[in-house]
Amino acid sequence: MPKNHVDPQNDIPEKHASIQPIDEKVTLVVTQAFGPGGHNLVGYSDVKFNNYPAVSLLVRTPDGREGIVHLSPIHGDKRKVGFIDIAPGTRCTLMCPVTKRPLDKLGPADDGSGAEYYALYLTPKLSKGHAVAVTDMWDHFHSRIVDDEAVISYWAQTHTP
């Protein structure tokens, strides 16, 4: 097995078989995410997390190294596999693995870290009002899901059914 290999199927116990609430919280699973060229980056590879296809990105570090990282599509799940030998806090270029185009910039993170948000669109229309906002700082876990201009990931974290 490669040095940085992680088996996403066995890292944490299977908590659910569908998109059912866990511990009275809402579970959000990204089932499609489009890059700037309109390619769906969910299911780009055969990597899965809890049987859900991963979101795949091409990542380039400031020293020129690059590779594909596969992110869990379960919002709030920090698991990732692939090109992960990157120091925490490193600012990376996030790209579509199909076109190698950089993701579209949304704006700065609001936490003073200096991280910037980039768009993974939730629909093929590539609307910034319907996107997963991911940051360009490695291990900076502040992604947001925006739908119809509202930050629904915040609602999901604070709302109990």
Per-residue model confidence (pLDDT) at position 121:
94
Report pLDDT for 101. Answer: 98
SS3 22: strand
Question: Which amino acid, residue 147?
Answer: D
Parse the chain into domains and list their residue ranges: 48-158
Encoded tokens for 85 = 């030998």
Q: Which two tokens stand for residue 100?
A: 């190698």
pLDDT of residue 66: 97
* Local structure of 52: helix, strand or coil: strand
Task: Report d(CA 14, CA 34) in Å as an integer.
Answer: 27
Residues of the chain with pLDDT under 50: 1-23, 149-161
Q: What is the pTM of this model?
A: 0.76
d(CA 104, CA 61): 17
Q: How far apart are CA 88 and CA 160, in angstroms?
A: 32
Residue 136 · residue 115 · CB < 8 Å:
yes
Q: How far is CA 114 from CA 67, 119, 128, in A?
A: 23, 17, 21
Q: What is the pLDDT of residue 24?
A: 52
